[in-house]
Amino acid sequence: METTIESLWNRSKLLVKCAVIAVQVLLLLIPTFAVQNLVAERETRQREAIAEVSSKWAGPQQVTGPMLAIPYLQTTADSTTKAVTIKHTAYFLPDELNITANVVPEQRSRGIYKVMLYTSQLHVSGSFAGIPINKLNVPADKILWNEAYVKMNIADVKGLNEELKVSWNDSLLTLTPQHFSETSEGMVAPVPLDAYGVSKKFSFAADLAINGSENLQFTPVGKTTNVTVNASWPHPSFIGNTLPQTSSISNTGFSANWKSLAHKRAFAQYWTDNGFTDSQLSNAAFGVDLFIPVNGYQKTMRSVKYAVLCIVLTFAAFFLIETTHKRSVHPLQYGLIGLALVLFYMLLLSISEYTGFNVAYLIASTATIALIGWFVKGLLNSAKLSGMLSVLLLLIYVYVFTILQLQDFALLLGSVGLFLSLAAIMYFSKRWSW
């Protein structure tokens, strides 16, 4: 009778222990969520540091234009049948636009955070093959030729290092900032036009020296737009609505070429008033982001999402080892191992801000495996069992690291890994005597 009671107690004790361990896994989610919030907070601080430095230098730059604007008058009758004359503006885009940009990157530091700044020399040239004012059905006597102007948009005019001047046929125009409305502003300059010259070809050219940060983009306002960017930075990320036609990247820099045609855009070659806003034009922009590859916040956040997997697999392996070899470990000591697994992500986050993600992952995982291995060796009084758990931990961290490096095959590798882990647990659980 006593043997039966003792057997029932041992089995109940094992079930209670499993339940306590399961509860500990759930409780460990609390510090895991805290680590996720910490990662998000550090990433926010980095963005604030970038914004602070950029506000004093210049923000991300986007170059749009030049485009030609011609005001005209239109008379309509209002509700009282009185004639009302309203000024409108017709906008025309160039037939050809060519841009060459030579970018010189520079890293600045704000505390522990690095900010990517750059200076760029741009040469902009192109032409209008006549002004199709007749296609807008505007009476010739209503056109205000003397108020025509050229307009260019620079995302952050603070980055202009020199006056913006445009060579327009035989004239040299100096552009100045002008605010049109809440949704429209730009650099403008009056341009000499008359009714007799609208069918002629107009050529333009400009050289810009601008500062910027993080990325440089261009709006393809030309019927045919060609853009070439050269930079001494080996880590470009091509962004925007169009990828480059050709590109070459080396350890010393990169070169990229874009070609965009009018039919690829979501706006027309000419319109009136707010037919197309500045933001609609900006949506078609493309360019390059000069990113700093040591930023590991996104990978750290992804790795934290695998924390539950690492904890469950480690606890399962530890439980299998102690039950198979008839050793007894207090549930509190499972909790200490779980805390060590959570602290791994704190180490990963803090070290990655200085060394980059890969090196930080190696250091943090090595320290965590060594700490748990040392702790388990003291608990089980066995170097062999401690070594077995350390090897399993190593496999888990290598497995998670491999998933983090993959993009297309991450789901496949994750599913296969979980399946094999479950198969191993099922195999060893057959030896349990419940």
Q: Judge if the upstream peptide bond of residue 105 is cis by omega within 30 degrees of 0.
A: no
The pLDDT tens digits of the residues spanning 156-206 come to 999 999 999 999 988 899 999 887 665 567 899 999 888 777 778 899 999
Q: What is the mean pLDDT of residues 37-61?
A: 86
| Burial category of 86 from C-beta neighbours within 10 Å (exposed 0-12, middle 13-18, buried 19 and up) | exposed
Question: pLDDT-derived band of residue 413, with 50, 70 and 90 as boundaries?
Answer: confident
Residues of the chain with CATH 2.60.40: 60-290
C-alpha span between 78 and 229 (Å, rounded):
52
Q: Please determine, for residue 276, whether its predicted confidence score (pLDDT) is greater than 80.
A: yes
What is the predicted pLDDT for the residue at 166? 94
Strand partners, 154: 63
DSSP 350: H
Which residues fall within 8 angstroms of residue 414, CB to CB, at 6 or more apart? 403
pLDDT band per the 50, 70, 90 thresholds, residue 291: confident
Instruction: Give the pLDDT band of residue 381 (cuts 50, 70, 90).
Output: confident
Per-residue confidence band for 8, with pLDDT thresholds at 50, 70 and 90: low
DSSP string, 307-325: HHHHHHHHHHHHHHHHHHT
pTM for the model: 0.75
Residues 6+ positions from 219 with CB-CB distance below 8 Å: 62, 63, 64, 65, 153, 281, 282, 284, 285
Assigned fold of 60-290: Immunoglobulin-like (2.60.40)
Q: Which of 58-67, 181-190, 267-276, 377-386 is modeled with the greatest confidence? A: 58-67
Report whether pLDDT(408) > 70.
no
Q: Is the dihedral of CA 150, 95, 86, 182 positive or negative?
A: negative
Q: Which range among 244-248, 417-421, 430-434 shows the weakest confidence by mean pLDDT?
A: 430-434
Whether 164 contacts 124, CB under 8 Å: no
